[in-house]
Every structure is written in structure tokens, then in C-alpha cells.
Structure 1
Amino acid sequence: DVRTGTGFRLADETVTRLQITASEYPLEVMVNAGEGAKFLYRIRAIDGDNEIHFNLSYGIPERIDKQYSALYLEKVSDGEMVFETGIFPNFPNPFNPSTNIRYQLSQQSDVIVNVFDVVGRKVATLVDEQQVAGIYQVQFDGRNLASGVYMLRIQAGSYVNVQKITLIK
């Protein structure tokens, strides 16, 4: 059972769209539940082609810094929550001309996602900002690049990972 300050309740739905009309951001969202609560919650925020998840922990406020085109409140099992930082394989790979890159953060971090060619020259910066814990997706458009292998590098706090991505034209 989820209730807003105005008394709205979510008891039977697993997903509901939120309509937030706030004059100022950031907002703080918090879940209060009694002992024995059966569900965890997350907010899925849609911003253009990007999707961001805010995991809600009982009694801990989560900050939403800006307005999104759509917000959904979801009941989730604890197995679906983000517990470690990591990057998923890009899809599609090989790609032409664009590919989707998904990664997850276990905690708020300064995140940098860059793409390098095989000689180490940076060809794109996809992300360079502080982000809250959650799952993110960004699109890399390689239409102005030559076919070949590129290196995708993500740094989030102390986490660093590099993976190969292949552009075929």
C-alpha cells in the first residue's frame, strides 16, 4: 500500500503512472511501510530515449532532480533491485549506425562513459555527470565514424570497465 501526502493509495497495481505537478525541483520521494511489507518499489523515469530507475528503500528519501516526460511507480522483487555497479553488453553488437549501452549503479556516483578508437583517441563522450543509483541506458550513434572496433569505457566512482563494440557499415 503506497500513499502520497494527499492520500492516494497503490495497493493492487504493480505499475502506475505518476503525475507530479511540482513548482520546484528537486523532489524527495520516500516509501513508508510497516514491518512485514511484501514489496519493494522503484520509480522508472523516462526522459526521451533514456530510462532511469530510482530504487526506493523504506524510510530513506530518494531525490529526483528534474522533471521527466513520464514517471512510473513499480512494485518489484528484491531480486530486481540494483546491488552492484556494472555494465551490460551493448545491443546490438555489431551495430550500424547506433547501439544501446546499459549500465547500473549501486550508489550515487560521478559517471563518465567514453568511446575510444583502437589507437586510444576519444571519439565520443556519452555521459559525464553525477547520477543516482539505478539502471541507465544511453545510445551511441556511430554514423560519422568509420567501420571498426571501438572501446567503450565506463567509470563510476572506483568502478572501471572497458568493452569492445563493433561498428559495421
Structure 2
Amino acid sequence: MSLDADLQALVRTIPDHPKPGIQFRDISTLLLDGPGFAEAIDRMAASIAGEGTQLVAGIEARGFVFAAGLAYKLKCGLLMLRKPGKLPGARIGVDYALEYGTDRLEMHADACGEGMRVALVDDLIATGGTALAAVELLRQAGAVIDTATFVIDLPELGGAEKLREAGVTVHHLIEFDGH
């Protein structure tokens, strides 16, 4: 039994969403449980504490929830990695491939100074495409990005391993088998 089995029990699985054969891991039920949500933030913070993190970068949209909690807990700044067209002013971005098509992540051009230590945060790591794009974007901005933390890892999809191959230490609380 996982040390985080208590948190795993708070994540609802919705079969066949968004398409048949997919087991959707719904963190909204974890967020609805105040003590469970607080414990998730505390455990994620403990996994990256002491690494000199200056900014916590959250990936739109569910990553913002956990990144904000971690930034507060670690007394760091919060950097939001957004979909196109959401940020005013000068911004930089990275296009990345999806299963069918492409997407883009952007951030303010001045959000992160050269050499700043940034921890990447999202609710879930699956195939790793978005997380790898986030790492590329942050490194393009001059950030030192060598750690990431997620609530859920779907190891069969290989995203965490791809991040490790890119030089990023990956932490997660919960692991689910299958899609």
C-alpha cells in the first residue's frame, strides 16, 4: 500500500471519459476535501523543500491550483504557464505536439530571470508532452528547471520518464496503472 493511499482514495475515477477505454482521474474530489487538499500541498512541498526553489510554475489550468498552494507554502513566487491569448504584454511561448494537432504554452517574457530556480507543478503527468514543453519554455527563459511535482503519475504513459531523460527530477504523490 502506498504511503499516499489516503489521498489516492480521494481521487474519483470516471470510466470512458473523454472517450471509451480512458479512465479519467478526477482530482476535483480531492480538492473538495479540505484536509486532503491541505495534506496534498504539504506532501508536495516536502518533496521539493530545500531545493532552493524561487518560483513555482503551474501549468494551466488545474496545475494553477496546486502551484498556488505550493508557492504559498514555500514562500515563493507563482509563475503561470498559459494557453495562447491569455496573457497581456510581451510573452514567449513554445509550440508542442499533441496526439492530434499542436498546442502552445506561453509566459510573460519578464516573468523569470536568468538562473532562477523554478519547480514545475501540475495535477497529472501522463504522456509528458505539456510538461516537456513547459520545461523547454522555462529553460528558454533562462530558468534552472530540474524538479517537477505532480499529484498523479500515470507511469504506463511514460511522461515522468521523459522528464527524467530531460534532466528533471520527478516527484508524485499518487500512481495509477492504466490510462
TM bucket normalised to smaller: under 0.3
The normalised TM-score by structure 1 is 0.24
The normalised TM-score by structure 2 is 0.24
Structure number with higher helix proportion: 2
Which structure has the bigger radius of gyration? 1
